[in-house]
Amino acid sequence: MCSLPISAEAVVFDCDGLLVNTEACWTVAETAIFAAHGHPFGPEQKALVIGRTVEAAGEAMAQYLGRPGAGAELAANLLERVRKELSRGAAALPGAAELVRACRAAVPIAVASNSPRELLDAALWSVGLADCFTHSFAADEVRSPKPAPELYLTACEALGVAPKRSVAFEDSATGIASARAAGLYVAVVPSLSGAGLDHDWLGTSLAERELLDWARQLGDGTVR
């Protein structure tokens, strides 16, 4: 049985690595940047950048690669590489479309992403989910993106629902910290290891049957 509350009045989704398999695009870009500096790129390095904004990832890479002051340059390089990879398209992650549509049929939903607007829109359009969301919020549209709570607070305010009555779906520690700081319940399908991640529900896929059953019990079933 799903441990998420069926009394929830709104659902807010992360995008990258949660709804859309854009992490593959990011990993190709990140691997190339690390390789150009003579470093391998594996789970340890991925953990440094996953879930971060482009700018924060650039700073993390600069520190790891021993290039202080090069954060902005590396961030620009990363953005350009990800833009190129994403232009080829990305796939929806298993269960994402079904869960989004089931939640949307019951309660207000939104996206809160640490990607810039251009990449968020490209990701959602690439998998046919853009029309499912009347509200979406990107990192470059708030003063303090994840792990600060502003993205989730902004989403809940737009939906007219208190954070404590809302559920966030996340895949990274950065996103989890943001949602938790905002006061939402947190469901997690980790892109990396789930060990030690804060959560109210933890699973391996959005396609898990208990999630869809939970979503169908939300609200009164009226499309909004």
Q: Are 157 and 125 in contact (CB under 8 A)?
A: no
Rg for the chain, CA atoms, rounded: 17
CA distance 219 to 107: 6
pLDDT at 220: 57
What is the DSSP secondary structure assignment for residue 16, as one 8-state letter? B
pLDDT at 221: 43
Residues 6+ away with beta carbon under 8 Å from 14? 111, 112, 113, 114, 168, 169, 170, 171, 172, 175
140: nearest Cα among 124, 157, 117: 117
Give, in order, the Cα–Cα distances in Å from 130 to each of 78, 105, 117, 125, 202: 24, 15, 12, 5, 26
Q: Are 11 and 167 in contact (CB under 8 A)?
A: yes
pLDDT at 34: 97
pLDDT at 222: 42
Burial of 200 (C-beta count, 10 Å sphere; 0-12/13-18/19+)? middle
pLDDT in tens, the chain (224 residues): 689 999 999 999 999 999 999 989 999 999 999 999 999 999 999 999 999 999 999 999 999 999 999 999 999 999 999 999 999 989 999 999 999 999 999 999 999 999 999 999 999 999 999 999 999 999 999 999 999 999 999 999 999 999 999 999 999 999 999 999 999 999 999 998 888 899 999 999 999 999 999 999 997 544 44
pLDDT at 113: 98
- Domains of the chain as residue ranges with CATH: 10-21+90-217 (3.40.50.1000), 23-86 (1.10.150)
Give, in order, the Cα–Cα distances in Å from 73 to each of 29, 58, 66, 82, 112: 14, 7, 14, 14, 26
